[in-house]
Structure 1
Amino acid sequence: MSKKQVATKQAPGAIGPYSQAVIAGHWVYTSGQLGLDPATGELAEGVEAQARQSLNNLKAILEEAGASLDQVVKTTVFLKDMNDFAAVNAVYSSFFSEPYPARSAVEVARLPKDGLVEIEAVARAK
């Protein structure tokens, strides 16, 4: 099986030895996206803004891969504080529609750049 790297300037560049996403067969696997503004490299202010920016970054990466949020079948949401679940969920629900992707949400001790939320996705390529 071959794989193809996905890269776009519309989302933050990789800050390590990884790709923004990889296409393998008919699937797009994104790396986790923090709420970083791709223009400034700075985290958005607050968990809701970080969640929104994270999802906008995912959207840009998926579009570069020839997919969209509508093709997402699975997401994983990493939260610095599970008490932020409802706030992140409200933002998340504005990006997806039924049938919603399968999802896991976990609280983690720490995220890169001390982010509050990071989201990754698996989508079917068009």
Structure 2
Amino acid sequence: MAVGHVSTGSPFEKDIGYSRAIVADGWVFVAGTTGYDYATMTIPASIVDQCRNALVTIGKALEDAGSGLDHVVRVSYIVPNVDEWPDCWPVTSEVFANARPAATMFSAKLQNPEMKIEIEVTARIP
């Protein structure tokens, strides 16, 4: 099976040299995605809004790859401030209510100080 590349058009993809997602052998690997609105390159101040934006971007990439959020099997969350992480739980539990993927949360500094969450997923193509 050929490898497929999915892009959101984010300047980060070109500048850093990566794809938003890669499709290979029935799997979709979505790169770490932050809460930017990639059409306007703006990012909201709240971690909850950033979480929502990241999941919308991820959902679109998965759809473009022939999958969807309900087919996510693994998710990793990266947050600089662990005290803010529980604020995202209502969003993540709603989005992943059907998939219930294996999940891990890491705490680490992100690329830019305004970034409050980065989310990476792996999904199957049904």
> TM above 0.5, one fold?
yes
Q: What's the C-alpha RMSD, in Å, of the aligned pairs?
A: 1.5
1:1-126 aligned at under 5 Å gives the runs 2-9=2-9, 12-13=10-11, 14=13, 15-108=15-108, 110-114=109-113, 115-126=115-126
What per-residue deviation string (whole Å, max 9, x for no partner) do you get for residues 83-118 of structure 1? Answer: 11211112111211145010000110x212220000
Name the CA shift for 1:99/1:4 in 2 (closer, same or farther; >3 Å). Answer: closer
Shift of 1:77: 0.2
Task: Name the SS of the counterpart of 1:54 in structure 2.
Answer: helix
Structure 1 residue ranges (4+ consecutive) displaced by more than 4 angstroms after TM superposition: none
Bigger helix fraction: 2
Instruction: State percent identity of aligned pairs.
Output: 29
Structure 2 residues without counterparts, runs of 5 or longer? none
Q: Which residue identity lines up with residue 53 of structure 2 in the other structure?
A: Q
Contact kept in structure 2, 1:80 and 1:111, CA below 8 Å: yes
Kindly tell me the number of residue pairs found equivalent between the two proteins.
123
Q: Which residue identity lines up with residue 62 of structure 1 in the other structure?
A: L
Shift of 1:52: 0.6
Q: Which residue identity lines up with residue 87 of structure 2 in the other structure?
A: A
